[in-house]
Amino acid sequence: MAAEIERKFLVKGDSWRKLAQGSRYVQGYISTAKQATVRVRIVGNQGYLTIKGQSVQYTRSEYEYSIPVEDAQEMLDTLCDRPLIEKMRYRIEYGNLLWEIDEFHGVNQGLIVAEVELSDEQQQIELPIWIGEEVSHDAKYFNSNLVKHPFSEW
């Protein structure tokens, strides 16, 4: 089984901005059921279809497949709930880990969240100075929930 072990944090300040360049992401959800989410994503000129299981602690099953960008765009246009998630993703290496910082746009403008994938749930991590409050267990920060309850409505 493919598994994702991930922790999420709010980001504070702007010192992280000089450490990386961002890539534009557009993604939507075909399903956001409790037991599984089905996501379509476009990054650059590549499409992806991802299925994620329910989270237990920091871990959930994850299956991701490359698909033609034309198929991804058609799915985003016709199958996905609105609003779509629009964001810039920045990748920063720190403490032998890869941090991904998502700066949201559109109806989630103003929200900036950092994620780090781990090899196991007990892995110790060194937090960069730009990391704020941990929100790993707060479902309102899940991208799939930002479609239903955008940051601009909080």
Residue numbers annotated as active site: 29
Cβ neighbourhood burial of 129 (10 Å; 0-12, 13-18, 19+)? exposed
| End-to-end CA gap in the chain | 36
Could you give the maximum distance between any two Cα atoms of the chain, in Å? 42
3-state secondary structure of 106: helix
Which pair of tokens denotes residue 89? 């993703």
- Amino acid identity of residue 23, one-letter, is S
Separation between Cα atoms, residue 89 and residue 101, nearest integer Å: 6
